[in-house]
Structure 1
């Protein structure tokens, strides 16, 4: 009889201890929330940095195509459509979302890529390649 009683008591004690406690669950949820609060801003910053790098690469490619066009034709192209033989995509589109312009995270300018007729450089929403940067560099912006 004694053995039956002790085994019942053990089973009863185990059933009370099985499972998660409310405090344990709250602590786990709190830890996940804190990690999310740290990770989400870094993730959005990484997206803005990637968009900035993509715009810089696109503008650099278009500027190279403009230079080659000018060398081969003796004049600058009027618009990006004139660069058909020099670009894989004659209607390149900038990414959507945010990017860094002069050190500030802002929405990507409307208007897409174009050629500034006075400087014969590629622009994105009227902004030149030097303006797309995570750091503020006023020397390059004033010159470029």
Structure 2
């Protein structure tokens, strides 16, 4: 299996793919590849990273993806400066996971389980496993009851 992990240009302040321009000193200077450009590549699936924020929908829209290949939300999570506690972070990530199904995604991965190096992100085990207790399939069987399983079967055959 071959893929490329990337994020939408909208995640770093680009409303669209606007070429490589000089950015103000305080702006994010990253210019990610447009995820939609991988649709016709040799990649077996597309792995997009989207974190919960005020512009989550814009990130999905800006990725310009179609369901030609399986789409994986390979990394999602919540930053502590956006959410005051692990419960609100868990619900925010849950909303990202629900939203990605509307764009044809077939699965996701959470960043991160228990990282201690990245203190700016909520982990699944923070505050006595709060996020895990919100997102675990045993307590939130979203995958089994959602059309995600239908989308997945399209690629399994």
Note whether the superposition's TM-score is higher than 0.5.
no
TM-score by length of 2: 0.24
Larger radius of gyration: 1
Task: Point out the structure with the larger helix share.
Answer: 1
